[in-house]
Amino acid sequence: MSDTINIALIGCGTVGGGVARVLLANADRVTQRAGRPIALRRVVVRDPSKARDALIPREIISTDIDAAIHDPNIHIVVELIGGTGLAKKVVLDALAAGKHVVTANKALLADAGAEVFEAARRADRTVCFEAAVAGGVPVIRALGESLAANQVTAIQAILNGTSNFILTSMTEHNMSYAAALAEAQRLGYAEADPTLDVDGSDAAHKLAILAQISFGVAAKPHEIARQGIDTIDAMDIRFANELGYTIKLLAEAWTSEETRTGDRGARNSGGIDTTLSGSGIHPAPAPRRAVEKAVALHVAPVLLRHTDLLAQVRGAYNAVLVYGDVVGETLYQGPGAGQMPTASSVVADLIDLGVGRAQRTFAAAKLWSREGRGFTVEPPERVRSRFYLRLQVADKPGVLADITRILADEEISISSLVQHEAQEDGASSPVPLVIVTHYAATGRFRRALERINKLGTIAAPAVFFSMGD
C-alpha cells in the first residue's frame, strides 16, 4: 500500500454523502489519525446528474463500478449500495481485485457472511463493517476487541431505531401504533414501507452479525425467531406501564436456560465479587458457572422495568447491553442510524485500515470461518422467562378458571393479574384480562397459549410478550 490510501466510494446516497463529507472536509484530521492521507478518488453513482455535496470534485463522479473496482490506484472499496444483489457482486469483485472492503451492509453479512469472508481470506484482504450494526455505536469493536478477555454470555440490544422511535412515541404521547408510525414517517425515521423495520427483520440481521462475533454461530436471519412491534396495541403499553414496565423491541442472545431467571445480580457480575475494595488479595473467586455451548437468538418486544438501562433508551437511539463472564455487564449506546453517525463508523474503519489495526483484527478474529467456538443455535423454546399475556375474554363466570387451569397444567404460575371493571355500556362485550406469569420455559408457555386460544370464551388471539426479569 502506497503512502496515501485511495478510496472508491460505491454508492453516494445518505451515508455515502456523509462519508465523502468527512473525508473531504476533515482531511487533515483523518490524515493525522490514520498516519497517512486517505484520499477520495472515485465516487460511483447511479445518476451523475443529481446535485451532490459541492466538496466532491465533479470529475471523480462516474457510473462505472468496474472501472472503480479495477483501478490499480484504488486500495479500499467502500460499498454503500445496500442489499444483497449488486452489493454482493461489488464486494466480491473488489476483494478479488485485491481491495480491502468497508461496508455498512448488514443484510449482505447476515446472509452471505461466510462467502464474503472466505473470499477476503482467499484474497488476503480485509472486510470492515462497524457501520453495519448500531450505526455510530462502536459495538463491533467492543465485542471483537475490547471484550476479548470475555466469553459473552448474553446480549440484549435495541438495534432498530425506527421501532424504538415508534414505541417511545406510543409510550410518552399515548399514541396508537398507526399514529406513531405516521409520525415517524413524516419525520424521516421510517420508510414509506416500514415492514423490515417494524417486523423485526432488520434487528434480526444485526443480531445475526453480533452472534457470529460473540458465539461463532452463523445463524441465517430467517432462522431467527422474530416478533415485531406491529402487534402492540396502545392498551398493552398502558397495562405495562401500570405494572411498572416499558415495552422495547429487543434483539437477544441467551447462552443458557438459566440466564433469564431473575438472578440478575449473579449474572451481571459473572458470579464474581466485583466490589471496589481494597488492598491485599481477594479470596480466589469461585469457578464461573460453565457456559452452555448453545445460544438462543430472537427478536421480540420485551417488558422491561422502568429502571432498566434499556428501558430508558429513547427515540431513534440504539443500545447494546453485553454480559461478559469476566467484566459483567457493559452498555454501548448512541445514534443507531443516520447520515453522520454511520459515516463516523465507516471512516473509523478507513482509519483502522490506514493504521494497520483492521488487518490484524480481521486475521485474528477468523469470523465466518470453519473455526467456530463450539456454540450451536438452539430455538428459544428452552429460554425461561416471565410472560405478559393479554386476553380479550367474555365477561362471564368460569373464564378465569379455564385459563388458570391450562396454565397450571403446564406448571406455569401466575405472578399478577389485572382485570378492570367492564364499562357499563359494554358489559356484555369482551374485556381485557392481563396475566403476568412467573418464570416458565417459552415452549411450555406457547403450548398453554395454543390451548387458551381455543377456548370459546376468548374473543381474539392472545397477545403476549416476554418480561425482562
Active site residues: 206
Rule CB under 8 A: is residue 278 a binding residue for a second copy?
Answer: yes
Q: Is 220 in the site for a second copy (CB under 8 A)?
A: no
Burial of 180 (0-12, 13-18, 19+ CB in 10 A): buried
50 contacts a second copy (rule: CB under 8 A): yes
By C-beta, is 30 or 391 nearer to a second copy?
30
Question: Nearer to a second copy by C-beta: 246 or 457?
Answer: 246
Nearer to a second copy, 24 or 400 (CB): 24
Options 210, 351, 441, 452; binder of a second copy; rule CB under 8 A: 351
CB of 318 to a second copy, least distance (A): 10
Strands 458-467 and 384-393 come out as antiparallel
Residue 335 interacts with a second copy (CB under 8 A): yes or no:
yes
CA distances to 122, 228, 467 from 301, rounded to whole Å, are: 41, 7, 9
Based on CB atoms, which residue is closest to a second copy, 349 or 384? 349
**287 lies in the site for a second copy, by CB under 8 A:** yes
Residue closer to a second copy (CB basis): 98 or 334: 334
Separation of CA 452 from chain center: 32
Q: Report the relative pairing of strands 225-226 and 245-254 from DSSP bridges.
A: unpaired
Total residues at interface with a second copy (CB under 8 A): 95
Contact status, residue 9 vs residue 42, Cβ threshold 8 Å: yes
Q: Is 299 in the site for a second copy (CB under 8 A)?
A: no
Interface with a second copy, residue 431, by CB under 8 A: no
Using CB under 8 A, pick the residue from 338, 380, 432, 468 that binds a second copy. Answer: 338
Of 379, 395, 389, 394, which is closest to residue 413 (Cα–Cα)? Answer: 389
Question: How far is C-alpha 82 from the chain's CA centre?
Answer: 17
Residues between 173 and 192 that touch a second copy (CB under 8 A): 187-191
Asked if 282 is part of the footprint of a second copy (rule: CB under 8 A), the reply reads yes
Tell me if 128 is assigned to a ligand binding site: no
Q: Please tell me whether residue 5 adopts helix, strand or coil conformation.
A: strand
C-alpha cell at 315: 427515540
Residue 11, marked binder: yes
Beta carbons of 149 and 123 less than 8 angstroms apart? no
Q: Name the β-bridge partners of 78.
A: 9, 102
Maximum distance among all Cα pairs of the chain, rounded to whole angstroms: 81
Decide if residue 1 touches a second copy (CB under 8 A): no
Under the binding rule (CB under 8 A), the answer on residue 272 touching a second copy is yes
| Separation CA 52–CA 16 (nearest Å) | 11
Q: Is 229 in the site for a second copy (CB under 8 A)?
A: no
Buried b (16+ CB within 10 A) or exposed e, 153-177: bbbbbbbbbbbbbbbbbbbeeebeb
Instruction: Tell which positions 301-330 bind a second copy, by CB under 8 A.
Output: 307, 309, 312, 316, 319, 324, 326-330
Is 226:202 a contact under the CB 8 Å cutoff? no
Q: Does 266 bind a second copy (CB under 8 A)?
A: no
52 vs 446, which CB is nearer to a second copy?
52
CB atoms within 10 A of CB 44: 25
210 binds a second copy (CB under 8 A): no
The binding track of 126-165 with respect to a second copy, each residue x by CB under 8 A or -, is: ----x-----xxx--xx--xxxxxxx---------xx---
**With binding defined as CB under 8 A, does residue 14 bind a second copy?**
yes
Q: Minimum distance between the CB of residue 191 and a second copy, rounded to whole angstroms?
A: 6
**Residue 168 lies near a second copy (rule: CB under 8 A):** no
Residues 6+ apart with CB under 8 A from 121: 369
Give the footprint of a second copy on residues 89-108 (CB under 8 A): none
Q: Is 336 annotated as a binding residue?
A: no
Q: Does residue 344 interact with a second copy by CB under 8 A?
A: yes
Cα gap 437→42, rounded to integer Å: 58
- Which residues participate in the annotated binding site? 10-17, 106, 191
Q: Binding site for L-homoserine, residues?
A: 191
Can you say which residues are annotated as belonging to the binding site for NADPH? 106
